[in-house]
Amino acid sequence: MAMQYIMHFENGDKIHWNLIDNEITRAWIDVIKPRLDMGHDKPIGQHGHWLGCDGVEEATALLKENVKIIKDAGYEITEFETIDRDMLNTLHEEFHALEEPIFLGTADYEPKLDKAIRDVNELVHRIEGMIKTNGNSYWVFQVDTDLNARIPVTDEMRLEHWKFRNTRTSRLLRLGYATIGKNMMHMVNDADPGLWPDKIRPQQNIHTETIIEIATKPIYWADQMNTELSNSIDQFCKDNDIPIPTEPKHRNCIQPLLGEMEEKLTVPELHNLFRNVGMCRVELSGI
């Protein structure tokens, strides 16, 4: 029986992800299965962008409203008139400063404030997706925030699995980043050399988080994509007088593939399910 990750929606619909049987998927299963067995099967921290379905103006207005709620509650966050990549980076850093006490169990935010903090993160990522030019829709979520329920990433894992691989479909499930900050690939993609070296954050652990990526077509040229990413890191470092890194934690920095979607759903159909209907729980099958 094939291993599957199944997403359930409020209207009874389901999405089935056929999982790849390899070291990374097994490690992710080892993290998430005990959490699901404990009843932690409700998606949390959901955010993303559905290409052609989400609007920048509406998301920016909502972001302003939530920033004001946080500011009025007496917490540090930057109010803005217009939004750009630098402001999104600033708000994302400020979100993580507010989020960390939640992970550590030291925060006691009242419900309205707690929701505003989480919505700032969701909206920052949504707007980032709208202004990027890679043409992909994506959706991110997790089922648990337990810092102890994680598996460390080794150099061997990075060398074998933290790279592009060919796919049969364009509906992909990837391991979540689940890390505060950005890695080398993010620095290059965002053209943000100021992150080096103190603000670069390679992924250190496998968590329950996953990333749904809806590309324009399946990947048939993975080797070329891996070479192009490596070359882009080298060139960016040369152009910005940054030492070219050699460590796997910096060189192997994409999100590993966990599985592929069984259903053939369009972006508008997926947008409706995730944004409007709502995902209510997840489960593993065939494990």
Q: What is the DSSP letter of 274?
A: I
Q: Is residue 80 part of a domain?
A: no
Q: Is residue 62 part of a domain?
A: no
Q: Are 15 and 273 in contact (CB under 8 A)?
A: yes
Number of domains into which the chain is organized: 1
Q: Are 183 and 202 in contact (CB under 8 A)?
A: yes
Q: Are 31 and 149 in contact (CB under 8 A)?
A: yes
Q: Is residue 263 part of a domain?
A: yes
d(CA 51, CA 162): 25
Q: What is the DSSP letter of 73?
A: T
Upstream peptide bond of 197 is cis (omega within 30 degrees of 0)? yes
Q: Which domain holds residue 219?
A: 4-51+135-280
Q: What is the DSSP letter of 83?
A: -
Q: Is residue 148 part of a domain?
A: yes
Task: Please state the pTM of the whole predicted model.
Answer: 0.84
The per-type count for the chain, helices as H runs and strands as E runs, is 9, 10
Q: Is residue 123 part of a domain?
A: no
The predicted pLDDT at position 49 comes to 85
The predicted pLDDT at position 25 comes to 98
The predicted pLDDT at position 118 comes to 85
d(CA 27, CA 17): 17
Ranges of the chain with pLDDT below 70: 1, 102-105, 132-135
The predicted pLDDT at position 58 comes to 85
The predicted pLDDT at position 134 comes to 56
